[in-house]
Amino acid sequence: MRKISPKVQALIDNGDISYFFLIDLELNNNYYLTSLPQDVTFRGNVYTADGGLFEVDSPKFSTVIDREAYKIVIADLNDALMRDFAKGVIGKDITVRVGFLDANKQPLLDEEDVVSVYKGYVDSPVITNNWEEKLAVLEGTSPMADFDSVNVVYTSRNGMKQINKDDTTFDDMFEGVDVAMKWGKK
């Protein structure tokens, strides 16, 4: 169950809800982005407002274990994300938090006032360029994504050598070698 701080609960009770995103992208370089119009500091990191944050999926709450994808779109104006994608970012961490603005429209940045809405891994990064805008699209999946994975292992000498060249587990497969084994206690 999520805990809501008294400050945030008061905003909800008054019906005065304004929110913003804090996004951590721990790729080859770390990116800290916010949807606020000004930079803010949270947990010692400066979240930049001019990082090109373009679109963030709405938080989805699920009561079952699933492989729900989560999409973040960032304008890649200086090619930083394109260079990072080229180095490989699949499996890198993504964290998305939602913060709230108080009645004076100031961000509530105490740890208890910020809610984590997504934590997962980069699954399919793509750079799109239609000559009007260049966007970095990060699709993330949850740690539960591995439940869908299928891994194939060939039970042959060459199949095992692809995994570990020093492994001799399947060296005698398909060669008709007789093996005598003793079962039970001596």
The strand pairing partners of 179, in sequence order, are none
| pTM exceeds 0.75 | no
What are the backbone angles phi and psi of residue 47, rounded to the nearest 5°? -95, 120
Q: Please report, for residues 26, 62, 167, the alpha-carbon distance to residue 29 in angstroms, rounded to integers and kept in the order given.
A: 6, 30, 36
Backbone Cα Rg of the chain: 24
Tell me the per-residue pLDDT of 86-119, one tens digit each, with 9 for 90 and over. 999 998 999 999 999 998 999 999 999 999 888 8
Contact 107, 99 (CB under 8 A): yes
Instruction: Provide the token pair at 175.
Output: 């060669």
pLDDT digit of tens for each residue in the chain (186 aa)? 568 888 888 888 888 789 999 999 999 999 999 999 999 999 999 999 988 888 888 766 656 655 567 889 999 888 899 999 999 999 899 999 999 999 899 999 999 999 988 888 888 899 998 878 889 999 887 555 555 556 666 666 677 777 778 887 777 665 666 667 777 766
Per-domain residue ranges for the chain? 6-148
